[in-house]
A and B are shown apart, each in its own frame.
Chain A
Amino acid sequence: MIIEGGIVYDPINGVLGEEMDVSIEDGRVVEESRDGEKIDARGMLVLPGGVDAHAHIAGAKVNTGRIMRPEDGRRGTEARTKLLRPSTGYTVPNCYAIGYRYARLGYTTAFEAATPILEARHTHEELEEIPIVDKGALTLFGNNWEVLECVRDGDLDKLAAFLAWGLRASRGYGVKVVNPGGGEAWGYGGNVKGIDDPVPNFDVTAREIIRYLMRANEALRLPHSVHLHTNNLGKPGNYETTLATLRAVEDIASSRDRQVLHVTHMQFSAYGGTGWRDFESKAPEIADYFNRHEQFTMDMGQLIFGSATTMTADAPLEYGNARLLKAKWSNHDIELEESSGVVPLVYGRKNPINAIQWAIGLELALLTEDPWQMIMTTDHPNGGPFVNYPEVVALLMSRAKREEELATLHDLASKRSSLPSIEREMDWNDIAIVTRAGPARILGLAEKGHLGVGADGDVSIYDINPEKVDPSKEHEEVKAALAGAKYAIKGGEVVVRDGEVVAVPQGRTYWVDASVPEDAAARVKADLVEKFAKYYSIQMSNYMVQDAYVTRPRVIRAGVI
């Protein structure tokens, strides 16, 4: 296949809006393709396929969201066709809708943000049902008893061996940490108040948990860094916890050419004030810190007005949400490992808190100078469903659009944030970074996010001419063009044409197989044997995710040896 004459943005390879051809053969980008399909992309924007580094798209809490929200199911209902299964849902779409909708947006890779090891089988059952996109899942470790004990005992080698084992058991891609320590405290209805608040019964702090996990992550040279959801997320004044957390790990060095820590959905962790009355944005402080510390990355967690479903392993947060909003509430604690909550809600333009939150996400992205430190996300579906990504791009590229929106919001959005004064408008290069190149680098996916020779043949072509259309003024056109790709190509196969899905190949599932010294592995095993005998409610031999659940694996090797 040859994509001819498109205007290409491929930041990883230094291509910034050049008119050029892209050739694909056997699913990979090549110098030149001999023959095959020709796609006329003249006058159109060509980007590598989109990479969503953080979304809640598969697993127990996603399905809980579906089950408890039949009223969401009936939004976004599309009947089956000869090719496509039926779609349902807006904030909690069914598996087929997830695949089709990503593809229509031109996204070709999507990662599930958080999966507990004990329920990873469920995550993979759902991932297998999501068509088209390549995928992976991050595995939760921050409240796991074995982790807490290794941290308490200062046993880095054993911890690293446990991470390797846990990734294999869950067929996970990376180390996810959510409200470390707080999830365990929630087992008895508690939480931790900050990074130095000891976890009951384990005598460790979040500071220690995060540091040890990061050091173990780097000892294993995992492709991705630790991926962190901070303590005190969602609370006014929490920016201090966020900064304290970052300062606590400034000295840790990355083992690879990437960040040493990725902080996720930072919008929810950038709050000032002492309560909801004086709630305000502290995005400038956070962005400033990132501007001075290049070893950290973050993703936005942008709010979208309208219906959302919050779902997170930060269970105490969800309980708090439910009580505050008098909303329906699901909670699921997982023995020895984690906890989670799901609460549907609606973000309102005239709600002063929501209006400020909306501004914060944009502030963070625009005030962080280096786009390589930033990923555009909505923490789907916590901030809003991913189908709204074009809206976020349009906002990042157009100050006029931001002003138009601000005028419809509660005026505290303007008073308690610095957004009105921000002039910066992202350009296509920036957008290509924050939606493709950056997330691929940050996750450590070498063949994603770019169009150099050897890259996966994942390409999105949008019917908008970057040389003719000014995104700053014509933001409506930007949004419309990105909402339905002219072409989306996955592994060299056209999967979307004119915004319609025309093929549904199955994607592959990334997971990391890390090797560790035998003695450390044996010590971990001994601990696990005891835990299964005494505490787990299932047998150890039935625990690990079996091959049957990952039918098209893409295994990345890592490890100490």
Chain B
Amino acid sequence: MIIEDVLCPFCGCLCDDIKVEVEEGRIVGVKRACRLGSSKIRGHERIRAPMVRRDGELFETTYDEAYDRAARILKGAKRPLLYGWCSTVCETAKKGILLAEVVGGVIDSTATVCHGPSIIGIEEKGLSGSTLGQVKNRADLIIFWGANPVEAHPRHTMRYSSNSTGMFTPEGRRGRKVIVVDVRKTRTAKNADKFILIRPGTDYEVISALRMIVKGKGDLIPETVAGVDKADLEETAGMMKAAKFGSILFGLGMTHSRGRYKNVDNALSLVADLNGFTKFVVMAMRGHYNVAGFGQVCAWETGYPMAVDLSRGAPYFNPGETAACDLLGRRETDAMMVVAADPASNFPRETVEAMAEIPVIQVDPFPNPTTFLADVVIPTAVCGIEAEGTAYRMDGLSLRMKKVIDSGLPTDEEVVENILDRVRRLADDN
């Protein structure tokens, strides 16, 4: 049986045209997904059963015992950190936020090591954006800045950007110009009309120079800016202003290099400036398929999209103080719950070392390096394949993920709910 229009649970593209072939309750074929999505949908090694660590080793146990242990860890902690949420559906996030409220902890998502800086930039300047369909239907200029979709978002250029066709863009790639700005010539850059090589950590200066040129003050800037020729910048600014609909899509190259959120901040300002001359939008190329969704849920529930400290009962937001890496880097947190993420793989080393010193609860379908640090491991169904729920695409569009096969495992949402339930009962007992 072929199930149509399945949503891929991998990256921020949230492609929703995947065809999945199911036979006797197992996935036997996947069409249209890229290799990253296809690999996830077909499945790989799973955590077989709940586990708890005793004397340094993980032993299989029951869900009951795992919930119990997890609840005790969280209830006993003075500053628990509830982290992850990017590869699960919004329904899980809702329960997670409630759990964080009840245990008086800090909740944060993988945006903290991804597009958190973009959000901080938005708090300074706002974001002039659109849905991906606007880019597809109208954009005649696409600029990838610090982003390499060919490798990180493989179907993006075909579905939404460089190579897509739409109402006002029937010629597709031929009717567009593509510019890539990056610190090395990536595979995406090889398919661009123009490539600008910038030195690592100089995005901010280059953007300021572009803004000056766009605003007609180019004569005031020097002949080279951070190693980039002014002539190159002038040509780029010219292409931007000549576009009917330009777009800047930026990635971790911008958010993770020196300047971080200020780079994004300046890019947002550049796009706002460009709107004085022509139509321009900007978009963050979100990594995981539902990190945007966590941000939305967290914002409507707590007022803030990430890094929310609930320890005193009222939400407090201050990235740099309340983000996951902040807590771990300072060794402030005395317990951690990781849901649908793998911090051991992605976090700076000192923070992973901090994780090793505290009790860690992992809720995930798949074993990963975080499993080695976990004291309680709870396997769950894979959202978007074995469980339904809501996810938000990189442009903020929400869609419903399908369930195509059964797993017999609890969902992330059910697990968090069960732990919450135990925590409440422990509180009542006191």
- Residue contact B126 to A328, C-beta cutoff 8 Å: yes
In the complex, the answer to whether A121 meets B244 with C-beta atoms within 8 Å is no
Q: Is the CB of B122 within 8 A of A67?
A: yes
Chain A residue numbers with a CB within 8 Å of B397 are 118-119, 537-538
CB interface residues, A 538-552, toward B, < 8 Å: 538-539, 541-542, 546, 548
Cα distance, A535 to B133, chains bound together (Å): 7
Q: Does B351 contact A (CB under 8 A)?
A: no
Q: Let me know if B90 is at the binding interface, CB within 8 A.
A: yes
- Segment with Cβ contacts to B, from A69-77, A136-144, A161-169, A375-383: A69-77
Task: Let me know if B399 and A542 touch, CB within 8 A.
Answer: yes
Q: In angstroms, how far is the closest chain A Cβ from the Cβ of B349? A: 30
Contact partners of A129 in chain B: CB under 8 A: 94, 300-301
Instruction: Determine the residue in chain B with the shortest Cβ distance to A58.
Output: B300
B window 315-370: CB within 8 A of A? 315-317
Q: Within the assembled complex, what's the spacing in Å between the Cα atoms of A434 and B276?
A: 41
| Assembled-state Cα–Cα distance A122/B279 (Å) | 26
In the complex, per-residue mask of A57-99: 1 if CB is within 8 Å of any chain B CB, else 0:
0001011101111101110011110000110110011111000
B128 touches A119 (CB 8 A): no
Known: A73-B317, A86-B302, A88-B302. A125 touches B122 (CB 8 A): no
- Measured between alpha carbons, how far is A77 from B313 in the docked complex, in Å? 10
Question: B218-226, B251-259, B304-312, B415-423: which lies at the A interface?
Answer: B304-312
Q: Give every chain B residue within 8 A of A331 (Cβ-Cβ).
A: 126-130, 275, 281
- Asked if A189 is an interface residue, CB under 8 A from chain B, the answer is yes
Contacting pair B137 A535 (CB below 8 A):
yes
Q: What 1/0 flags go to B283-305 for Cβ under 8 Å of A?
A: 00000000000011101111111
Query: Is B101's CB under 8 angstroms from A329's CB?
Result: no
**Cβ–Cβ < 8 Å partners of A535 in chain B:** 133, 136-137, 166-167
Q: Does B125 contact A (CB under 8 A)?
A: yes
Q: Known: A125-B398, A541-B5. Is A89-B134 also a contact (CB below 8 A)?
A: no
CB neighbours of B317 from chain A (8 A): 70, 73-74
In contact, B279 and A329 (Cβ under 8 angstroms)? no
Q: A60 contacts B313, CB within 8 Å?
A: no
A334 within 8 A of B: yes
User: B137: shortest Cβ distance to chain A, in Å?
Assistant: 6
Chain A residues 483 to 499 lying within 8 A of chain B, measured CB to CB, are none
What B residues does A339 contact at CB under 8 A? 130
| B232 contacts partner chain A, Cβ-Cβ < 8 Å | no
- Expressed in whole angstroms, the minimum distance between the Cβ of A212 and any Cβ of chain B is 21
How far is the CB of A517 from the nearest CB of chain B, in Å? 28
How near does chain B come to A537, taking the closest CB pair, in angstroms? 4
**Contact A332/B396 with A67-B119, A188-B244, A542-B16 known, Cβ cut-off 8 Å:** yes
* Cα distance A541–B400 in the bound complex, in angstroms: 10
Contact of A121 among B94, B167, B399 (CB under 8 A): B399
Nearest-CB distance from B190 to chain A (Å)? Answer: 25
- A119 contact set on B, CB distance < 8 A: 396-398
Whether the Cβ atoms of B313 and A80 lie closer than 8 Å is yes
Q: Determine whether A335 belongs to the interface, using a CB cutoff of 8 Å to chain B.
A: yes
Q: How far is the CA of A89 from the CA of B296 in the complex (A)?
A: 15
Whether, in the assembled complex, B131 has its beta carbon less than 8 Å from a beta carbon of chain A, the answer is yes
A121 touches B390 (CB 8 A): yes
Question: A67 and B299 in contact (CB under 8 A), knowing A121-B390, A329-B126, A332-B396?
Answer: yes
Asked whether A88 lies within 8 Å of B128 as measured between CB atoms, the reply is no
The answer to whether A322 and B400 have CB atoms under 8 Å apart is no
B295 and A67 contacting across the interface, CB-CB below 8 Å: yes
Residue of B nearest to A335 (CB): B133
- Chain A residues, CB < 8 A from B101: 80, 85-86
Contact between A322 and B133, CB atoms less than 8 A apart: no
Residue pair A89, B303 in contact (C-beta under 8 Å): yes
Across the interface, name the chain A residue whose C-beta is closest to B306: A67
0/1 interface trace, chain A 379-415, chain B, CB 8 Å (1 if under):
0000000000000000000000000000000000000
Which of A122, A126, A333, A546 is in CB contact (< 8 Å) with B130?
A333
A122 close to B5 (CB less than 8 A):
no
A397–B310 Cα distance when bound, in Å, is 42
Q: Which of A85, A89, A188, A334 contacts B138 (CB 8 A)?
A: A188
Is B202 interfacial (CB 8 A cutoff)? no
**Binary interface profile of B, 79-117, with partner A (CB < 8 Å = 1, else 0)?**
000000000001000100010010000000000000000
- Chain B residue at smallest Cβ distance from A75: B303
Query: Inside 8 A of B132's CB, which chain A residues have their CB?
Result: 335, 537
Q: Known contacts A68-B122, A188-B279: does B133 contact A537 (CB below 8 Å)?
A: yes
Query: Which residues of chain B have C-beta atoms less than 8 A from A69's C-beta?
Result: 123
- Is there an interface contact between B133 and A539, defined as CB atoms closer than 8 Å? no
Set of chain A residues within 8 Å of B1, measured between Cβ atoms: none
Taking a contact as CB atoms under 8 Å apart, the answer to whether B133 and A332 are in contact is no
Distance (Å) between the CB of A471 and the closest chain B CB?
Answer: 35
Task: Take A67-B295, A537-B159 as given contacts and tell me if A96 and B301 are in contact as well, using a CB distance cutoff of 8 Å.
Answer: yes
Q: Decide: A79 and B134 in contact? CB cutoff 8 A.
A: no
Tell me whether A342 is interfacial, beta carbon within 8 Å. yes
**Residues in B neighbouring A465, C-beta threshold 8 A:** none
Q: Are A542 and B5 in contact (CB under 8 A)?
A: yes
Q: How far is the CA of A175 from the CA of B275 in the complex (A)?
A: 30
Docked-complex contact B136 and A335, CB < 8 angstroms = yes
Least Cβ–Cβ distance between B300 and chain A, in angstroms: 5
B160 within 8 A of partner (CB): yes
The CA-CA distance from A341 to B94 in the complex, in Å, is 27
A292 within 8 A of B: no
Asked if A548 meets B300 with Cβ closer than 8 Å, knowing A67-B295, A329-B272, the reply is no
Contact code string B228-243 (vs A, CB < 8 Å = 1, else 0): 0000000000000000
Chain A residues with Cβ below 8 Å from B90 are 125
Which parts of B383-412 form the interface with A (CB within 8 Å)?
Answer: 388, 390, 392, 396-400
Given contacts A73-B315, A77-B314, contact A68 B131 (CB under 8 A): no
Whether A86 touches B310, Cβ cut-off 8 Å, given contacts A121-B400, A535-B166, is yes
Taking CB atoms, residues of chain A closer than 8 Å to B7 are 542
Q: Which residues in A have their C-beta under 8 angstroms from that of B275?
A: 189, 319, 331
User: Is there contact, CB below 8 Å, between B299 and A187?
Assistant: no
Q: Which residues on A sit within 8 Å (CB–CB) of B299?
A: 63, 66-67, 94
Indicate the member of B7, B297, B314, B315 with the most A CB atoms within 10 Å.
B315
Is residue B145 within 8 Å, beta carbon to beta carbon, of the partner chain?
A: no
List, in ascending order, chain A residues with CB within 8 A of B272's CB. 322, 329
Find the B residue at minimum CB distance from A145.
Answer: B167
Q: Is B124 an interface residue (CB 8 A)?
A: yes
Please give me the residue from chain B that is nearest to A60 by CB atom: B396
Pick from A77, A92, A322, A336: contact of B315, CB below 8 A.
Answer: A77
- Report if A343 contacts B (CB, 8 A): yes
CB distance from A12 to the nearest CB of B (A): 34
Bound complex: CA of A560 vs CA of B304, how far in Å? 45
Q: Given A73, A79, A80, A333, which contacts B131 in the complex, CB threshold below 8 Å?
A: A333
Digitize B262-278: 1 where CB-to-A-CB distance is under 8 Å, 0 elsewhere: 00000000001001101
Q: How far is the CA of A537 from the CA of B164 in the complex (A)?
A: 10
Min CB distance B120 to A, Å, is 9
User: In the bound complex, how far is the Cα of B122 from the Cα of A66, in angstroms?
Assistant: 11
Contacting pair B300 A334 (CB below 8 A) = no
In the complex, the answer to whether B136 meets A328 with C-beta atoms within 8 Å is no
B5 to chain A, nearest CB (A): 4
Cβ of A536 under 8 Å from chain B:
yes
Candidates A63, A188, A319, A332; contact of B296 at CB < 8 Å: A63
Contact across chains for A68 and B138 when beta carbons are under 8 A apart? no
Are the C-beta atoms of B17 and A334 separated by less than 8 Å?
no
A62 to B124, CA, bound (A): 17
What are 18 pairs between A and B in contact, CB < 8 Å?
A63-B299, A67-B122, A68-B122, A73-B317, A74-B317, A86-B310, A86-B315, A125-B300, A189-B279, A329-B272, A331-B129, A331-B275, A335-B131, A339-B130, A537-B159, A539-B4, A539-B5, A542-B5
Known: A125-B398, A335-B137. 5 other contacts (CB 8 A): A67-B122, A85-B101, A329-B272, A535-B166, A539-B17
Residues in chain B within 8 A of chain A (CB atoms): 4-5, 7, 16-17, 90, 94, 98, 101, 119, 122-134, 136-138, 159-160, 165-168, 244-245, 272, 275-276, 278-279, 281, 295-297, 299-305, 310, 312-317, 388, 390, 392, 396-400
